[in-house]
Amino acid sequence: MGKFVLRRLAQMLPVLLAVSLLAFALNCMGSGDTASLILRERGIEPTAEAVLQVRRELGLDRPLAVQYFSWLARAARFDFGRSFASELPVIEVIGEHFPATFVLALAATVFSLLLAVPLAVLAARFQDGWPDRAARALSVAGVTMPSFWLALMLLSLFAVQLGWVPVISGTRLKNIALPAVTIGFSYGCTYLGVLRQNLIEACAHPYMTAARARGLSRTGALLRHGLRNSLLPCVTLVGYNFGKLLSGHFAVETIFSWNGIGKFAVDSIQSKDLPVIQGYIVCVAAAYIVVNLLVDMLYFAIDPKLRLGAQKKV
Amino acid sequence: MLKELVRQKKARLGLAAVGVLLLICLLAPLLAPNDPYKVNILRKLAAPCAEFPLGTDQLGRCVLSRLIWGARLTLSSAVTATALMLLIGVPLGIAAGFCGGWVDSLIMRVTDVASSLSPSLLALAVVGLWGPSLANIVAVFAALWWAMFARVVRGAALEVMQRDYVTAAVAAGCGRLSIAVRHVLPNVLSPVVVLAALRIGTVITHLASFSFLGLGAQPPAADWGVMLSDCRPYLSTRPLMILWPGAAIMSSVLAFHLFGEGLNAALHPRREGGTSDD
């Protein structure tokens, strides 16, 4: 297990390097630009003299490699400087917005599973019947429907026409339903397709025939044996996607005014708040990598086949 | 293969839908009843009528014309992005499968990095550096999503290399490059074509969502994503306005999805309707 984790970490190094270069590149958008941008944000006319002074203050007049390594050393400690707009430390403002995204990711994942698991079981139980056809249609709908459009439609229906929820949801927990459903729908449809396929394949296995021979009903065999075996490959998929969701859904968070880091990133790029963008890129990539690693370890822990294999090797 | 394609119901539908979409793009100047950019503030948010079949937007521009011209913009950028992915991914995939050794490991490491970066992160960086534009977003997708093509092509190339005709070509003294281009390339293309058709659909959705956020195509462009973001303030007064661009996006994505699935079924007649998508 330890070896496995180390190898995965080693594989992630080039990714982290690429991400750090990407984030650092934002520093170099013509250093004069950055300096005058900061001055303008603070409401100061960017004269040549003022620009020079800011550049010296920020160390923008040093060679690029030096700038990169000093930036990297600070980034490794999650120090990305201060936001141009609020003048607060970047990591603080990102931390402020992160819980909202985390809760939304959780709710969306729960909804997607609530959508996918029962429907997939129904589809496999009544293969080629109408539940199956509905499931197949839904999994295509999930692929083709852009989630930002679904968000607009739901908002128009439930907030504007019916008036059940406020148009601007803020970050109050009771308003999480619409954004969670929007994000959960597209992921749920993907899971539905995968799980249905797995369940149908599982039905062909001898252990299902054995279960039926022991007197289990078709539904019982499907639930007790088929589902457990089919859910296993989905754990990885759901886990990876959860890691992706932690970066915040740009469009959905923006449409529902959900104050997560996705909306915050979009707002920051529009106001050209570069330190925030840099912090966002590095934090999100780090979170993604950590979650992926956790998912791999989880898979290791719950799949008895892998566990046995590992013991044999040792 | 074409015959097989026509025989499949799904594929027929997809082929027809993609055909219609292409026709709309080609004939946009003839089909559009009005100039998509002509502002007529006096007739803003007009209801559908003979002159404006789907009504007008907040600046009095013809919605139907903007939809039709939007198809042109959307399709051309999605196809460009996918073509760029092919241009990068296919040669790299063949090189990796064909050369093996350190070339293979190097290319695969780069592929790993590209496929684990999310387009949103790169898009943020690119927009931060060079400002928002549709071309930049197209470049972002091309710069990352070639990876899946490289993977698929490498796998297929490894398989093709085992075949007798490649051995025969080596025995006949063909050069390495000529084997790669004349024997390996044509034989790895079928999974690539399927993947590309499905990818175009995905790219369309993503491009629209970036344009919607103001990071892609910029107003006043006749783009479906821009149109959707334009009508956000009128959600309560003109709910129908959000229907059209969304329906346009969905139907074109569906068209490419059906086309890709049908193509897949036609190329692998035994596997009913399954996707070779990773």
**B28-66: per-residue pLDDT in tens?**
888 888 888 888 887 788 778 877 788 888 888 888 999
Considering only CB atoms, A18 lies closest to which of B117, B127, B245, namely: B117
pLDDT band at A35 (very low <50, low <70, confident <90, very high): confident
Mean pLDDT value of segment A164-186: 82
* Nearest residue of chain B to residue A266 (CA atoms): B213
- Superfamily of domain B2-37+54-272 in CATH is MetI-like (1.10.3720.10)
In order of A98, B56, B140, the CA distances from A167 in angstroms are 22, 24, 33
Residues with Cβ within 8 Å of residue B127, at least 6 apart in sequence: A269, B136, B215
CB contact A241 to B (< 8 Å): no
Q: How far, in Å, CA of A309 to CA of B112, rounded?
A: 26
Contact A202, A194 (CB under 8 A): no
State yes or no: cis peptide before B220, omega within 30 of 0: yes
The mean pLDDT value for A70-93 works out to 88
pLDDT of A99 strictly over 90: yes
3-state secondary structure of A249: coil
Closest to A159 (Cα-Cα) out of A90, A256, A17:
A256
8 Å CB contact between B33 and B52: yes
Which residues in A lie closer than 8 A to residue B129 (C-beta atoms)?
25-26, 29
**For residue B224, pLDDT beyond 60:** yes
Mean pLDDT, residues A86-108: 93
The whole-chain average pLDDT of chain B stands at 86
CA distances from B150 to A39, B154, B261, B275 (A): 45, 6, 20, 18
* Cα gap A78→A34, rounded to integer Å: 21
DSSP A156: I
Amino acid B234 reads Y
* ipTM of the modeled complex: 0.84
pLDDT at A310: 52
Give residue B5's pLDDT: 67
Enumerate the residues of chain A whose CB falls inside 8 A of the CB of residue B113. 14-15, 18
* Comparison of pLDDT for B92 and B239, the residue scoring more: B92
A150-159, A165-174, B48-57, B196-205: least confidently modelled range: A165-174
Note whether B250 contacts A: Cβ–Cβ < 8 A.
Answer: yes
Record: contact B112-A11, CB cut-off 8 A: yes
Contact B235 A244 (CB under 8 A): no
> In this complex, is the C-beta atom of A140 within 8 Å of any C-beta atom belonging to chain B?
yes
Mean pLDDT of B147-174: 89
In this prediction, residue A181 carries a pLDDT of 93
Return the residue in B9, B213, B259 with the most chain A beta carbons within 10 A, the one to mutate for interface testing.
Answer: B213
pLDDT at position B269 is 63
What is the average pLDDT value for chain A, to the nearest integer? Answer: 85
What average pLDDT does the segment A194-207 reach?
A: 88
CB contact under 8 A, B128 and A269: yes
Q: Tell which residue, B201, B228, B211, B222, has the closest CA to residue A152.
A: B228
Of B117, B118, B213, the CB nearest to A254: B213
In chain A, % of residues over pLDDT 90: 31
**Spatial distance between the Cα atoms of A211 and A224, rounded to a whole number of angstroms:** 9
Which residues make beta-bridge pairs with B62? B56
Residues of B in contact with A15 (CB under 8 A): 112-113, 116-117
CA distance A239 to A237: 5
pLDDT of A117 reads: 92
Which amino acid type is present at position B108?
A: M
Residues 6+ apart with CB under 8 A from B69: B28, B32, B36, B222
- Check residue A175 and give its pLDDT: 82
Does B122 sit within 8 Å of A22, measured CB to CB?
yes
